[in-house]
Structure 1
Amino acid sequence: MQAVRAARPRGTRRAPDEGTGEISYRVTIACTRAQGEAIGSAEDLFIASEAPPVVVADEPDETKPDDWVIHAYFEAEPTSEELIELRGLGSGEPEIEHLEDSTDWITKSQQGLQPIRAGRFFVHTPMHYVDRPADTVNFEIDAGLAFGTGQHATTAGCLDALDRLAVSGAAFANIADIGTGTGLLAFAALALWPEARCIATDIDPVAIDVSRENAAINGVKTGHNPGELLLAVADGMDSPMLAARAPFDLLIANILAGPLIELAPTFAKSLASGGTVILAGLLDTQADAVAAAYQAQGLQLIDPGHGEWPVVELKAP
């Protein structure tokens, strides 16, 4: 399962119980991988809907990497206009299911998520708590709507990158996680550099609420002091709290290629001398353009990343 709907600056559209009713309809439509990934950057989905659906994309068969499906969860029977919009997102005709009970179908659909190991980190859902190894840094992230459970390769890649930095002897005292989603990357950074000041932001207030809940579950202290996590709603770097904390010696952003390129000037200005930036959420075909945007700001490319979902590392002069 890849919850690509939240692959925009990592957050959620809305949890099922935040609307006026229960999730009662699920609409499924086949799509290509490109179509599934595209919904992550679509900020204008269902803007005319009174109760917009929660939309996620799924890769049901890893042996068929281009055959994805899109699921849309509605509180009420979808209108003809909403079905037309769904047809435009995928391929073929949407299949409508009436869900007979009040089950949280979005969470249920993700309960099969297996734990992942990335560097020294082990990330799991509550049902896999008993599987926690004794020799890992463990985080429990519920299988909800927010992007960043660790299942997506971009999140796991960022965890690996942070672990490698720590192994190399890097030390950071002022950290920012932009587009935090579940808070996971900020938690990992504080686990590696426990005396650091850390701020995590997201454009979506729901994601910040999710991050705060996850911090409590995982014993991460929130607050303004060293070793504590400050959480704030922010659009990119546009936040008084970010401005007050800058410059950062480590900046992490797992969002999308387009926003990463747009944010290059403000990210570069927010980095301390010699500061490191970790960028993810981009495809291998987008890595060069993202890296070039930051090199144009005077940053040095340290690691261009590799694989389908590269994690790019750059350093300020």
Structure 2
Amino acid sequence: MSARKRAAAAPAANGETGSWKATLPCNKAEAEQLQEEIGALALLDEPPVLMTSEPDPAQPDVWRLDAYFAGPPSAEMLAMLKSLAPSAAGQEPLVEQVEERDWVTLSQQGLEPIRAGRFFVHTPAHRDSVPADSIAFEIDAGRAFGTGQHETTSGCLVALSKLKDQGISVSNLIDLGTGTGLLAFAAMRLWPAARAAASDIDPVSIEVTEENAGINAVRLGRIRGQLELAVAAGLEHPRLRQRAPYDLIIANILAGPLIELAPSVSKALEAGGRLILAGLLDSQADAVAAAYRRHGLMQSFRVEHGEWPTLVMRKRRSLGWR
């Protein structure tokens, strides 16, 4: 049985004698989407831990969604859960009480370390298994997307490694939609003297990135070798505009926003700079690449990672920024 996880948060015990699980059927597309977005559940004071699994490999589009709550889920919570699996319309979640669990352990269950390019990404449970020849990061399964488990994140790590292998130098980089901060941290380890920034539209992601920076000895600040953080949609923040143009932009978001951001992202990239695009399905890659070609970028190479390719593009002409 294959499984994926989107741990919204690790809820604290609330005095109930046990934890609660709600189960719904879903399809593969819905399970994949949960790697990126968990809807209104993320706004709860104690969001559930969500897990998706493929019970029968012989039926590759039949998946299951399990949501673990710290207490009995309300009707409103169950309605939020049902909105994540439209294919199960008309079905009510199966709700059952389960034995008390350590929620941090639950959120990390099944999250094996990831080796991607030069990098080794692990949870606290695997601190003792770091290969000597790797660049390691400890990223806990928690409130933001980007633990390295999903193909979009690991594909970006491979792309960064390939750029370094090609002898590419980077002096000014930004990670758009940073999630946990992992991709910004990885780029900074490869180019430690670069100026670096990371942004996300979600304030929680920036909080998580700050926490992960402390865990992984990443310095925060505005000078070279430090990471500046900003809550922003795309590049719509005064500091991010002031820092442009960038010679490396990493954007692991979704296909729709990537296409919408093409004009501003392309303008913020200096001539000859590299752009890493991820969060798109194989069927969406041509449309995303075409959006950036219209702004003077050409594809350098592509990392194949299951159904989620990573595109690396290079800007061939300057369009100016301000």
Which bin holds the TM-score, normalised by the shorter protein?
A: 0.7 to 0.9
Q: CA deviation at 1:256?
A: 0.9
- Please point out which of 126, 129, 137 is paired with 2:127: 129
Q: CA deviation at 1:298?
A: 1.9
Tell me, what secondary structure is at the counterpart of 2:276? strand
- Please point out which of 146, 152, 155 is paired with 1:154: 152
Percentage identity across paired residues of the two chains: 51
- Please point out which of 233, 240, 243 is paired with 1:242: 240
Task: Give the total of aligned pairs.
Answer: 307
Q: Which residue of 2 aligns with 1:303?
A: 301
Whole-angstrom distance in 2 between the partners of 1:99 and 1:257:
38
Question: Which stretches in structure 1 are left out of the alignment for 5+ residues?
Answer: 6-11
Q: CA deviation at 1:37?
A: 2.8
Whole-angstrom distance in 2 between the partners of 1:174 and 1:40:
29
* Amino acid paired to 1:163: S
1:1-317 aligned within 5 A: 1-3=3-5, 16-17=11-12, 24-39=19-34, 45=40, 53-54=47-48, 56-60=50-54, 63=57, 65-74=60-69, 76-90=71-85, 91=88, 92-101=91-100, 103-104=102-103, 107-306=105-304, 307-317=306-316
Whole-angstrom distance in 1 between the partners of 2:156 and 2:56:
22
**Is the 1:183–1:215 contact (alpha carbons within 8 Å) kept by the matching residues of 2?**
yes
Q: CA deviation at 1:164?
A: 0.2
Q: CA deviation at 1:250?
A: 0.2
Whole-angstrom distance in 1 between the partners of 2:307 and 2:160:
19
Of 164-173 and 238-247, the range deviating more from structure 2 = 238-247
Root-mean-square deviation (CA, aligned residues, Å) is 2.7
**Is the 1:115–1:125 contact (alpha carbons within 8 Å) kept by the matching residues of 2?**
yes
Q: CA deviation at 1:304?
A: 4.3
Q: CA deviation at 1:230?
A: 1.1
Of 77-86 and 276-285, the range deviating more from structure 2 = 77-86
Give the TM-score, by structure 1 length: 0.86
* Amino acid paired to 1:152: H
Whole-angstrom distance in 1 between the partners of 2:260 and 2:224:
30
Tell me, what secondary structure is at the counterpart of 1:123? strand
Whole-angstrom distance in 1 between the partners of 2:24 and 2:175:
34
Whole-angstrom distance in 1 between the partners of 2:188 and 2:154:
16
Relative to structure 1, the CA distance from residue 218 to residue 279 in structure 2 (aligned partners, 3 Å threshold; closer, same or farther) is same
Question: Which stretches in structure 2 are left out of the alignment for 5+ residues?
Answer: 317-322
Whole-angstrom distance in 2 between the partners of 1:195 and 1:210:
24
Relative to structure 1, the CA distance from residue 61 to residue 156 in structure 2 (aligned partners, 3 Å threshold; closer, same or farther) is farther
Tell me which of the two structures has the higher relative contact order, counting C-alpha pairs closer than 8 angstroms and 6 or more residues apart.
1
Whole-angstrom distance in 2 between the partners of 1:263 and 1:210:
24
Of 175-184 and 25-34, the range deviating more from structure 2 = 25-34
**Is the 1:174–1:197 contact (alpha carbons within 8 Å) kept by the matching residues of 2?**
yes
**Is the 1:55–1:70 contact (alpha carbons within 8 Å) kept by the matching residues of 2?**
no
Query: 1:91-148: CA deviations, max 9, x gaps?
Result: 244121335547326x514332111111111111111111111111111111223211
